[in-house]
Amino acid sequence: MFAAVLLIALIGALAYYRAPVLAWTVVLAAWLASLQLGFGYGVPTLLWGGFAVIAAVLNIIPLRRAVFTGPVFGVFRKITPAMSQTEQEAINAGTVWWDRDLFSGKPDYQRLLSFPDPKLSVEEQAFLDGPTEQLCSMIDDWKITHELKDLPPDVWQFIKDQGFLGMIVKKKYGGLEFSNYAHAKVVTKIATRGGTAAVSVMVPNSLGPGELLQHYGTEEQKDYYLPRLAKGVDVPCFALTSPYAGSDAGSIPDYGIVCRGSYTDPRTGEQHENVLGLRVSWEKRWITLAPVATILGLAFKMYDPDHLLGDKEEIGITCALVPTEHVGVCIGRRHYPGGAAFMNGPTWGKDVFIPLEWIIGGREFAGQGWRMLVECLSVGRCISLPAMSVACGKLTTFTTGAYARIRDQFGLPIGKFEGVDEAMARIGGYTYQMEVAQDLALTGLDMGEKPSVLSAVLKYHNTERMRKTLNDAMDVHGGKAVVLGPRNYQGRAYQSIPIGITVEGDNILTRSMIIYGQGAIRCHPFVLREMKAAMANDATEFDLAITGHINFVISNVVRSLWLGLTGARFASSPRSGATARYYKQITRFSSAFALLSDMAMFSLGGSLKFREKLSARLGDMLSNLYIATACLKRFEREGAQKEDLAVLRWAVENALFDLQVAMDGFLANLPSRGLAWLLRKIIFPWGLSLKPASDRIGTKVARAMMEPGGMRERLTRGMYVPPSEDDAVGVLQHALNAILATEPLEQKLRKLARDGRFSSITAKERLEEAVRSGLITQAEFEAVQRARKLKRDVIMVDDFDMALAQHDAGLLQRHIF
Ligand SMILES: Cc1cc2nc3c(=O)[nH]c(=O)nc-3n(C[C@H](O)[C@H](O)[C@H](O)COP(=O)(O)OP(=O)(O)OC[C@H]3O[C@@H](n4cnc5c(N)ncnc54)[C@H](O)[C@@H]3O)c2cc1C
């Protein structure tokens, strides 16, 4: 009996700590020997023999290859689905970072906690406090979105002059060369003031000509364009999407044929005769900044049917920079995306001749366009839309928190009703999740990583949380947020939600195909090694990878079972106290996720790619593990403030609960029912044990959002808060402070009324009566009067004269292609 228990304990420990094959051999041999020598059992020679054969096969590599991994290699090569070039390029793009730890089933928290805290340089901080603050103060979003349908000329000029369009451009070209962290914080701050301005700043700094030129441009292209982009002399756009290719951008029908031709360079006026170039035809739509762009980044498929460049006829997707003044470029008309007025429009051209020198990177980069785009996407996707989502979170936390305290119904501030505080807690909790998730990824970017999987996680989860926070903020504000006008600070953002959801990889596609699809191959410690070995026909590398992989699976079975049985109580944690159990739970579910991931690949093989609902749930598991760890990292970074514990708990507990929902859904739908049953028993031996954050925690978060204090301050830090009481957002903080300060006085007035001390009826008259009869001082009278005025300013909405409808109707002239 003791020997059997010892054996189970030894196997458990070997598997739990992922011991190498040799360690297994030595420990099990020692156990057998101890049976014979120590306990006096007679171990049959047959058992020793069997053990020796298995040990030899597993430890002697040539033997292992001959009898075990070699045959597996043959089968693996046959069943591994062929990868298209675009898939390979997507897989190879970017780097893996903290996501690999989460995939490992054994995240290294010391590593997480040792990542440097993202910081702003003195210059970056000055830019945020100076030009960015000033830009925000110049933005009147209602005027922009309703009246001008554009940024006013002085705002455009300010953006260009101050270098906002060149935040990513290197200093030697006249750009600001900001860190990714600073870049994101600038976008966030502007976006808390208005989406149109934020998008106009964000796009040239995101995936587009600037980014592509810096990475791949020829020296001549960099020297010419980058200083012009940095100062807004040139305004770029990047055109990939066509009416026929949106999500499936690799299938664009736009093409360029290699030929000889003549052209006049619009930049110099020089005429060039009989040069080697391309005859390009394209039809693109939804291109941001296209209507005002001076250079058009254009993606098309390049063909060389006459072999003017070489043997290859289909050269592949190519990116070129075309001055928009070039003969044949049609550009300048506008689309009108909902809720925003940033420039966006179509562009088209037929048989437009461009020289080969206009290809980004020159001739050498012909056909490299897809690789260039996916490589750069991982950076931009971590910054722009996630930063805009954070901005929505901050703005809604700031406004809804204050509004819910200022607005009262049934004799109470609405935020004190549980139904409302539930919605408010989601706003605060998701805002925390969005910011911490982005900050951790920015840390990675500034360490030189290009975490492509995490960029997809951020794109999807931040924009989805933006959608949820805005929905909740709309609900809490009621009619105040429905009626549009200058006093409505979130109606436009609400209308614009689908833009963030759709662009840079639509969310349905990102969740169901990209996050796990890329993650499974990129972050898994062995799968990519195995696939590369299969493609390179490298049996030695395959042998090492597959043995490690089997060990990995055994380990995750044992770890998941043990951590499930014990509720991860004995798992290690880098911190004691309130957060320790979260670290332990993350370890538990990281092992479970790694196991489910392997079992999904094992049972579904290549068809997993098409089981998008399962793939999406695996992606949700990875994403929520990431978000939970990012919360813990941030909590530590902020000095583990007790005040923030409620929001941390809300954020981590709900992330882990969402992860459990994904695991439950996955197990309920895995086609191999027997396997699903077994996995459920291993991972959830006592059933589904996690609960979402409690109502009590939610109420704490909501209450902290309604009062000036550390948590409200930290959640909204970095947003633009207009100082003026005349501003719809600015007045909220003034009103909140005034109402909190005069609350005892209002109570006193209510009591006096109850005691029958007033002869007048209305609140206004009673206030005047109170000061007249000396029940309150003149200063108290003025304070209450001011608070009531500010409150009225907050709750009122706009009304317009009848000309409003006519104004909108006549604004745009429709054009049909
Ligand atoms: C305001 C705005 C600005 C834009 N700016 C630019 C720009 O500057 N440059 C540029 O090149 N493009 C731009 N775009 C285009 C944008 O990138 C595309 O809209 C986006 O790629 C999605 O394409 P689509 O809208 O045609 O949707 P579709 O590709 O038609 O997709 C429709 C739906 O099907 C889903 N779907 C498609 N395939 C799959 C799949 N395999 N699995 C699961 N779901 C799938 C999508 O997720 C989506 O929900 C912009 C678009 C908008 C609206």
pLDDT digits (tens, 9 = 90+) for 768-817: 999 999 999 999 999 999 999 999 999 999 999 887 655 555 554 444 44
pLDDT tens column, 631-649:
999 999 999 999 999 999 9
Can you say whether residue 174 is alpha, beta or left, with left for phi > 0 and alpha for psi between -120 and 50 degrees? left
pLDDT tens column, 73-128:
888 888 776 777 767 777 777 889 999 999 999 999 999 999 999 999 999 999 99
Question: How many Å lie between the centroid of ligand 1 and the Cα of residue 299?
Answer: 16
Ligand 1 in reach of 299 Cβ (< 6 A): no
Which runs of consecutive H residues, i.e. helices, occur in 38-192?
45-59, 61-64, 70-79, 85-92, 98-103, 109-114, 122-127, 133-138, 141-142, 153-161, 180-191
Question: How many Å lie between the centroid of ligand 1 and the Cα of residue 459?
Answer: 13
Asked whether residue 231 carries a pLDDT value surpassing 80, the answer given is yes
Q: What is the mean pLDDT of residues 200-216?
A: 90
CB-based contacts of 54, cutoff 8 Å, min separation 6: none
Contact present, 769 and 758 (Cβ < 8 Å): yes
Residue-level pLDDT at 201? 95
* Tokens of residue 263, six digits: 């052209």
Contact present, 422 and 471 (Cβ < 8 Å): no
Ligand 1 in reach of 335 Cβ (< 6 A): no
Instruction: Please tell me the total number of residues recorded for the chain in this structure.
Output: 817
Q: Whose CA is nearest to atom 52 of ligand 1?
A: 286
Ligand 1 in reach of 475 Cβ (< 6 A): no
Instruction: Scan for tokens 């833009």, then name that residue.
Output: 499
* Tokens of residue 173, six digits: 């070209």
Tell me the helices (H) and strands (E) count for the chain, helix number first: 36, 9
Question: How many Å lie between the centroid of ligand 1 and the Cα of residue 337?
Answer: 13
The region of weakest confidence among 2-16, 263-277, 538-552, 714-728 is 2-16
Q: What is the mean pLDDT of residues 191-203?
A: 95
Asked whether residue 154 carries a pLDDT value surpassing 60, the answer given is yes
CA dist., res. 2 & res. 4, Å (int): 5
H/E stretch holding 752: helix 730-754
Q: Give the whole-number percent of the chain exceeding pLDDT 90.
A: 80
pLDDT tens column, 316-338:
999 999 999 999 999 999 999 98
Q: What is the mean pLDDT of residues 414-432?
A: 98
Burial class (CB in 10 A: 0-12, 13-18, 19+), 444: buried
pLDDT: is 529 or 787 the higher one? 787
* Tokens of residue 638, six digits: 């902020």
pLDDT: is 54 or 136 the higher one? 136
* Ligand 1 pocket test target in 84, 502, 510 with most atoms within 8 Å of CB: 502
Q: What is the mean pLDDT of residues 507-527?
A: 91
CA dist., res. 120 & res. 124, Å (int): 6
β pairing state of 255-264 and 295-303: parallel
Residue 263: phi and psi, rounded to 5, are -160, 160
Q: What is the mean pLDDT of residues 428-447?
A: 97
* Tokens of residue 643, six digits: 């005040």
pLDDT tens column, 2-40:
778 888 888 889 989 889 889 999 998 888 888 777 666
Ligand 1 in reach of 344 Cβ (< 6 A): yes
Contact present, 126 and 134 (Cβ < 8 Å): no
Question: How many Å lie between the centroid of ligand 1 and the Cα of residue 246?
Answer: 4
If you average pLDDT over every residue of the chain, what do you get? 93
Residue-level pLDDT at 817? 41
Contact present, 347 and 329 (Cβ < 8 Å): yes
CA dist., res. 550 & res. 284, Å (int): 48
pLDDT tens column, 38-84:
666 676 788 888 888 888 888 898 899 888 898 888 888 887 767 77
From the list 136, 719, 60, the residue with the least C-alpha distance to 395 is: 719
Contact present, 472 and 634 (Cβ < 8 Å): no
Contact present, 790 and 734 (Cβ < 8 Å): yes
Contact present, 726 and 604 (Cβ < 8 Å): no
pLDDT tens column, 580-613:
999 999 999 999 999 999 999 999 988 888 999 9
Residue-level pLDDT at 196? 96
H/E stretch holding 202: helix 195-205
* Ligand 1 pocket test target in 235, 286, 335 with most atoms within 8 Å of CB: 286
Residue-level pLDDT at 807? 58
Q: Which amino acid is at 201?
A: V
Ligand 1 in reach of 692 Cβ (< 6 A): no
Ligand 1 in reach of 654 Cβ (< 6 A): no
